[in-house]
Amino acid sequence: MENPNGAIAGIFNTDQQNELWQYMQTLGSETANQLFQPSKEASQLMESQIIGMLGGLPAGHFDVQITTNREQLGRLLASAMMSGYFLHRTEQRMALEQQFKTTP
């Protein structure tokens, strides 16, 4: 049987002894897809954050081009990834708090 998360292997440079990587390989493809799909709210927040980092010119009225080097692009991507991670964790916490409020 083929590993349902085989596509993930190309994204991450992993050591096969890593516990987290081994756990990720045990997830079903549906679960893995859910983990990679941000919520609509998180996507909107990330989009506005990246637009804020790049500049707020409305693209509909201006032909905006951005030039950068590899190092600066790496920093931008790292910042976006950390923000996405933070938003995901915040969503999880909010869901847990709402769940505990509804249980007696």
Residues 31-75: tens digit of each pLDDT: 777 777 778 888 888 888 887 877 776 667 777 777 889 998 898
The label of the residue with tokens 């409305």 reads 58
* Per-residue model confidence (pLDDT) at position 69: 93
pTM for this structure?
0.53
Report the alpha-carbon distance of residue 77 to residue 72 in Å, rounded: 9
Compute the radius of gyration of the chain from its Cα atoms.
18
Report the alpha-carbon distance of residue 46 to residue 87 in Å, rounded: 9
Residues 5-14: tens digit of each pLDDT: 455 555 555 5
